């Protein structure tokens, strides 16, 4: 029953991809589509609109590990300080498990960075690589990977031998996503909720890329049609001797 609720919620939101999501609470799963939209919106606009802010605040207080983690991701993506939401996340920190705690700490660390300063970002992320929380370590490495692929890959390569199966599994998945996993021993991901969360984040990013591509294609088609109409008008004027 829970599996069906999770699957239905994801399918309605365009994310039908998680048959392994059985541990997630069915009622919590119904909130996934609204958070997916918040992820897409904040990546497009760089900030949270009022509706998404309400959604994020509600899910930060939900206590559900996937919802809290995803809400923290949304706050981290915003280019604004989001002081109130950061305070809500701090309030929730002690009440949640290691996975959402990792995303809250990562979000709070990233909010210390001014204007996307890469050196400053690396400086706040590197200490997190030594933390005991495995989710925090590997997520910090992934953030470094986004701004410095060579350094990020070196960090992830060392993580393939990490004591935590969670770290090894996600490090291997990152190489797999980049088409560079052939030389490494496959490492399965033992945490189904983390796997679910990662699939939601990846699918939201994929849908955003698709939307942008469709928008670019539509713009190109409109421009092409406009050019054809202009060419046609010019031809008619020439045929009838109109200047």
Tens of pLDDT, residue by residue over 150-164, are 999 999 999 999 999
On whether both 193 and 172 belong to a single domain, the answer is yes
Domain region containing 153: 115-197
Q: How far, in Å, CA of 16 to CA of 236, rounded?
A: 52
Tens of pLDDT, residue by residue over 167-217, are 999 999 999 999 999 989 999 999 999 999 999 998 886 654 444 434 444
pLDDT category, 224, cuts 50, 70, 90?
A: low
Contact 151, 129 (CB under 8 A): no
Tokens representing residue 77 in the block: 């993506």
pLDDT of residue 26: 87
Residues 211/214/216/220 CA torsion (nearest 10 deg): -160
Tens of pLDDT, residue by residue over 53-74, are 999 999 999 999 999 999 999 9
On whether both 106 and 132 belong to a single domain, the answer is no
- The string of DSSP letters for 224-241 reads HHHHHHHHHHHHHHHHTT
- The string of DSSP letters for 70-119 reads HHHHHHHH-SS--HHHHHHHHHHHTTS-HHHHHHHHHHHHHTTSSTT-HH
Any domain includes 95: yes
pLDDT category, 25, cuts 50, 70, 90?
A: confident
Structural domains in the chain (count): 2
pLDDT of residue 51: 95
The residue among 61, 84, 111 that closes a domain is 111
- Let me know if 219 is exposed, middle or buried by CB neighbors in 10 A (0-12, 13-18, 19+): exposed
Question: For the whole model, what pTM was predicted?
Answer: 0.77
On whether both 50 and 107 belong to a single domain, the answer is yes
Any domain includes 73: yes
Any domain includes 234: no
Instruction: Compute the mean pLDDT over every residue in the chain, rounded to the nearest whole number.
Output: 82
Any domain includes 202: no
Please give the DSSP secondary-structure letter assigned to residue 182.
T
Contact 60, 87 (CB under 8 A): no
């Amino acid at each position: 029953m829970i599996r069906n609720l999770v699957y239905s919620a994801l399918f309605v939101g365009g994310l039908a991809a998680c048959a392994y999501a059985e541990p997630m609470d069915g009622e919590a799963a119904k909130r996934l589509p609204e958070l997916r939209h918040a992820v897409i919106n904040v990546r497009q606009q760089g900030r949270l609109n009022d509706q998404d802010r309400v959604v994020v605040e509600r899910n930060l207080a939900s206590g559900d590990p996937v919802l809290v983690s995803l809400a923290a991701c949304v706050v981290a993506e915003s280019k604004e300080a989001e002081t109130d939401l950061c305070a809500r996340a701090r309030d929730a920190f002690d009440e949640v498990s290691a996975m959402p705690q990792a995303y809250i700490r990562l979000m709070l660390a990233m909010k210390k960075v001014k204007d996307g300063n890469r050196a400053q970002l690396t400086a706040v992320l590197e200490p997190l690589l030594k933390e005991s929380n495995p989710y925090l370590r590997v997520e910090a490495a992934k953030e470094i990977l986004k701004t410095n692929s060579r350094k990020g890959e070196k960090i992830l390569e060392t993580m393939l031998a990490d004591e935590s199966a969670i770290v090894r599994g996600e490090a291997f998945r990152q190489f797999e996503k980049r088409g560079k996993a052939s030389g490494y021993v496959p490492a399965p991901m033992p945490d189904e909720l983390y796997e679910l969360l990662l699939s939601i984040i990846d699918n939201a990013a994929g849908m955003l890329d698709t939307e942008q591509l469709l928008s670019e294609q539509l713009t190109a088609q409109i421009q092409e049609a406009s050019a054809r109409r202009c060419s046609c008008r010019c031809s008619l004027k020439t045929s009838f001797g109109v200047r």
